[in-house]
Amino acid sequence: MHRGGKNGFFDQLIRYAVHYSKKARRDGLRGTGRSVGGRERELTPQYGLLRAATGVSVLGDGLAAGAVPLLAHALTNHAFLIGMTRFLLQVPAVFGLWIGANSDRHDARSTMVVSDLARGALLLAFGLALLFAHPPLLALFATALALGLFNIVFFTAAQQATPVILPNHLLARGNGQIEALRSALGEFVGPPIGASLFGVSRSVPFLGDAATFFGSAVLLGRLKPIPPQPKPKRRLREEVREGARFALRQPALRTTILFVAATAFCQSMVFAIQVLYFKDLLGYSDAQYGIAYAVAGIGNVVGSLLAERVIGRFGAGASLFVAALMAALTYASISAHLAGWLVILIFVVEATFLGFGLVANLTIRQLKTPTEYRGRVSGFARTVIYSSSAIGALAGGAVADATTVRTACLVAGLLGVAAALAFAPSIRRNLSKAKLATPLLSDG
């Protein structure tokens, strides 16, 4: 590099600094590290810690995600029982309302730390059991149920914390970056490693996941406290009822939660039996299954990274609708007899659409929920969505056992298309750009 360009470089740097300084004052940016106010500087490091903790944790989740279906498949060949594993991971969401109401009463950081420590201890115990013994399928079921419960506690608190750390106009970007990280490590990097390690020792993926939970707890412990909004103490049952009533009375929240629940039902029908599709129909080995899982995860990364641009151009409501409709079409398409590489490509397309669809879902809920309701609304949403997903897992296994795996995929796709068409008028009416831009409504 010649030295004559040095002054030009600094001139350009100064011009960039002046440009972004003016842009920050004009747009009122907060929490990006570009402004000079005291509070604004603190938001970026806090978000960075949350993002880093998420990355460490989901890497371990990816290890387990690649191993759990293989372990279930090694213990049973029944599609219904394999689907039961996914069902038990998600059925604790029925307690989401109470977990959300309780989350509104406590510091979100402390809740996340305790949840990580509990999940780490749980998987450490299960990993050691796999190392020194041969636990039955019931042990996997029990571990999945307990892990699902702590997952709900953690993610309810995390969704409560994100809008406190980031301002509203950066939620789509912040959610998109975290979801991209979750997809990259949890669905692209982790699963093939977990599947490969499973072939070496069944315990290693679970012990690795335990270690990442402990690491995540350390990072989250460096967050500043995120205390709940001060409010009069009432009975927990009253707060639960109030949170559910608020969510159901707000058209944007009601439409989003119910539509995502319908989509989750169809997705879970397919993903509960995905291991059977790849191993029994396509003849993939454990390692090949992990690689296929990972390649499909590329779509989640791409979709999450594109989310801010897609949502900014078309709106969160339209983005959510298109994501769900396209996902349903992919489920129906894999009911045909296709080559393995084409099936993987279809899953990449599905993951891409659901990548920005998930960000749109989170952004709508965070934008339309006041701070004092966020834990309860998040808990209510998880109760409805995850309960629907859990039932979908059982339905997928039952249909596959009664007919074939491909038929179960076709049924899931047709149901998804029907749900998208049925919700289209409500989405157009309640989730337009204009509707989502209106001020928050209180529970009247």
Residue 400: band (very low, low, confident or very high) from pLDDT cuts 50, 70, 90:
very high
Q: Which of 1-10, 302-311, 331-340 has the highest mean pLDDT?
A: 331-340
Residue 277 in domain? yes
**Residue 152, both tokens:** 């709900």
Residue 303 · residue 351 · CB < 8 Å:
yes
| DSSP letter for each residue of 62-79 | HHHHHHHHHHHHHH---H
Comparing 185 with 315, which gets the higher pLDDT?
A: 315
Number of domains in the chain: 1
pLDDT at 439: 54
Q: Tell me what the mean pLDDT of segment 267-272 comes to.
A: 93
324 in a domain, yes or no? Answer: yes
- In this prediction, residue 3 carries a pLDDT of 42
Q: With respect to residue 25, please indicate whether it lies within any of the assigned structural domains.
A: no
Decide if pLDDT at 4 tops 60. no
Q: Is residue 346 part of a domain?
A: yes
Q: Is residue 53 part of a domain?
A: yes
pLDDT score recorded for residue 211: 92
User: Residue 234: helix, strand or coil by DSSP?
Assistant: coil
pLDDT in tens, 68-89: 888 998 888 888 888 888 888 8
pLDDT band of residue 333 (cuts 50, 70, 90) is very high
How far is Cα 27 from Cα 348, in angstroms, rounded to an integer? 36
Give the DSSP per-residue string, 172-195.
HHHHHHHHHHHHIIIIIIHHHHHH
189-241 per-position pLDDT tens digit: 777 788 878 878 889 889 988 998 999 999 988 888 777 665 556 666 777 78
Higher pLDDT, 128 or 435: 128
CA distance 43 to 222: 13
Provide the pLDDT confidence category of residue 442 given band limits of 50, 70 and 90: very low
Domain of residue 386, CATH code? 1.20.1250.20
Containing structural domain, residue 368: 39-224+236-437
Whether 296 maps to a domain, the answer reads yes
Asked if residue 133 belongs to a domain, the reply is yes
The pTM of the full predicted model, rounded to 2 decimals, is 0.69
Computed from CA positions of residues 278, 120, 303, 83, in that sequence, does the dihedral angle turn out positive or negative? Answer: positive
The pair of structure tokens assigned to 351 is 């993951």
| Domain membership flag for residue 397 | yes
